[in-house]
Amino acid sequence: MICIWVALLRQRQFAAAAGHVDLRFLITLGGGILCGAVGLARVMRYMLNYHFGETWSVFFGLILASSILVAQLVKPWRFITVLTALAGAAFAYWLVGQLPQVAPAGHGYLFFCGVIGISAMILPGISGSFILVLMGKYADVIGAVSQLTDGTADRTTWTTLFVFACGCAVGLLAFSKLLRWLLAHFEAATLAALCGFLFGSLRKIWPFKQDVTAQFLDVYRLPPETVAAIRENPELVAQHIKVTRRIYVNVWPQTFDAEVATYLGLVVAAILLVFGLHWLVLVRRMARHATD
């Protein structure tokens, strides 16, 4: 697809090139993503650094509700679609367990995250932000956008955003036509696989976690004296490693305290928010049809 688009540009067939990649849709999508990223960057950076568990709880509720809505789009549910959904769930559950807890710092991985993240934006019920969370780059990208908006951007910030933007551009050009073809020919199976993937990936954003960073200090580039100090006193982790860069394992809450109640309340609130917005869309759609 990219080769055809480049060929059309070289032949100066700009209208055909724009139609080939659905330029109007891509500009609208890109504008919405840019506005959302700039508007929420500072908020999300603060929430991830100081309210990590609460943020994870909201993500969990949003994705759980989205997976239920995507399941409602699968028509009809048959044996093959159920099998596809189970396969998608199993694959996602396995995949998020294999992804590195500390994301690679190279530009190649950041570019790949841009390709996959922006592709998810086109899929129903899933967000690029969620994919970046799964791949461990959400905090880095949001941090770079936040530095850009508050005027503290440096060369590293610009490089991060440029590499990520290039990945997004390639992902949009390569994936938009493919998704349209899949939905046109295998709609039920595609949506079922997506539904299963969402359910399975909830493993990554389970809000109840235990910090085990002190047991895996070898993956960080820390001075030997710092490593020795942290091993003697694990509480020193907070002074040297950001919350978003630490390693966690999922746990089941042992007691029902205020923190657990808060997390569960945020999960429920996020679910109700998604269902409420979906209901408003349906009401407006029905009202529009009634007036036509």
Sorting pLDDT into bands at 50, 70 and 90, what band is 57? very high
Q: CA torsion angle for 23, 40, 153, 128 (degrees, to 10)?
A: -50
Task: Write down the pTM of the prediction.
Answer: 0.73
- Residue ranges per structural domain of the chain: 2-206
Statement: residue 182 has pLDDT above 70: yes
pLDDT in tens, 11-46: 555 455 545 555 565 666 566 666 656 666 677 777
| Residues 116 and 183 sit within 8 Å (Cβ to Cβ) | no
pLDDT in tens, 246-259: 788 889 988 889 99
Q: Nearest CA to 160 among 114, 228, 198? A: 114
| Residues 118 and 128 sit within 8 Å (Cβ to Cβ) | yes
